[in-house]
């Protein structure tokens, strides 16, 4: 079992517009009101790069910037793990349309946005990042795969690591083969040691798969969790939000143990507790 600390969170999802607005909902202190995901314009990129960037890049920049602002850390000095099940579905659709047409020439911009590590590349430009970065995919378990990788780096390198997970819907006809219900992005800044900004501690381990994943109490949030691979993180974010509240109340304690789909015959187990 490996322990890390959550120092900053970024969040964009339907009805969860940022961590400050979304955490009271996830903690059960405010009612959930579904609404379209609104991706704020990023000032991190030069104008030319902003025009070229696809939706996954904009999602990743938004939650990454928010997570680092909440952690009060320098993003340029911090290693990153990016994970996504879908990548840039809109761009992939356009490439497929072009390849199926008489004019089969693909623009260089469209091509470089099609690669899975495009968000990582734009992030490095945006924040001047020089630390190590990985870009992963694990189908519906993409968030858990990214979390394991990030936690392993925190433990082995004894340094902070940011995890950024994002997904967007595919257009038809790709949507018929792989349906992703909404645009969702999650950012976490994880550290090896607690600080005054730590929101919660997370103990991570892998175990044999036995039973169902952890779910959301609100039926609409559960539908969102099931509909978007990155939204599989919602039970973890809910536990972090609750732990942050409990951690600020003298004499209170609490712990949540959560199960997440992983790969093969394994599950990821995350135990969240107040700092």
Contact between residue 133 and residue 81 where contact means Cβ atoms under 8 Å apart = yes
Which residue do the tokens 């789909």 mark?
A: 261
Q: Are strands 161-167 and 79-83 parallel, antiparallel or unpaired?
A: parallel
What does pTM read for this prediction? 0.94
> 250 pLDDT exceeds 70?
no
CA angle 63, 67, 69 (to 5 degrees): 115
* Per-residue model confidence (pLDDT) at position 22: 97
Quick one: average pLDDT of 16-26? 97
pLDDT at 84 (0 to 100): 98
- What pLDDT is recorded for position 252? 55
Give the chain's mean pLDDT.
Answer: 94
Dihedrals φ, ψ of 80, to 5°? -135, 150
pLDDT band at 50 (very low <50, low <70, confident <90, very high): confident
The region of weakest confidence among 22-26, 37-41, 186-190, 211-215 is 37-41
Q: Which residues does 100 contact at the CB level (< 8 Å), separation at least 6?
A: none
Domains of the chain (ranges; CATH) run 2-198 (3.40.47.10)
CA–CA dist 253, 146 (Å, integer): 28
pLDDT over 50 at 213, yes or no: yes
Asked if residues 147 and 264 have their Cβ atoms less than 8 Å apart, the reply is no
Q: State the Cα angle at 38 between 35 and 44, rounded to 5°.
A: 160
Q: C-alpha angle with apex 82: 159 to 118, nearest 5 degrees?
A: 130
pLDDT digits (tens, 9 = 90+) for 184-195: 999 999 999 999
CB–CB of 191/160 below 8 Å? yes
Torsion-angle region of residue 264: left (phi > 0), alpha (psi -120 to 50) or beta?
Answer: left
Cis amide bond preceding 215, omega within 30: no
Is the pLDDT reported for residue 65 higher than 60? Answer: yes
């Amino acid at each position: 079992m490996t322990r890390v600390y959550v120092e900053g969170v970024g969040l964009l999802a339907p009805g969860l517009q940022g961590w400050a607005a979304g955490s009271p909902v996830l903690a059960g202190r405010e009612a959930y009101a579904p609404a379209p995901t609104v991706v704020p314009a990023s000032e991190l990129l030069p104008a030319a790069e902003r025009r070229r960037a696809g939706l996954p890049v904009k999602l990743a920049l938004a939650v990454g910037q928010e997570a680092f602002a909440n952690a009060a850390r320098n993003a340029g000095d911090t290693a990153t793990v990016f994970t996504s099940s879908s990548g840039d579905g809109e761009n992939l659709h356009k490439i497929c349309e072009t390849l199926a047409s008489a004019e089969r020439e693909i623009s260089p911009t469209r091509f470089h946005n099609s690669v899975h590590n495009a968000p990582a590349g734009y992030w490095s430009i945006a924040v001047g990042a020089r630390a190590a970065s990985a870009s992963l995919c694990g189908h519906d378990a993409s968030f858990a795969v990214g979390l394991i990788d990030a936690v392993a780096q925190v433990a082995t390198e004894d340094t902070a690591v940011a995890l950024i997970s994002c997904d967007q819907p595919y257009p038809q006809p790709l949507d018929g083969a792989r349906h992703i219900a909404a645009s969702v992005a999650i950012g976490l800044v994880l550290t090896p040691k607690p600080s005054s900004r730590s929101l919660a501690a997370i103990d991570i381990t892998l175990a044999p798969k036995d039973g169902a994943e952890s779910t959301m109490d609100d039926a609409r949030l559960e539908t969102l969790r099931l509909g978007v691979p990155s939204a599989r993180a919602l039970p973890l974010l809910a536990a972090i939000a609750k732990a942050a509240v409990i951690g600020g109340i003298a004499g209170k304690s609490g712990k949540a143990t959560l199960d997440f789909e992983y790969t093969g015959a394994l599950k990821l187990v995350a135990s969240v507790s107040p700092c």
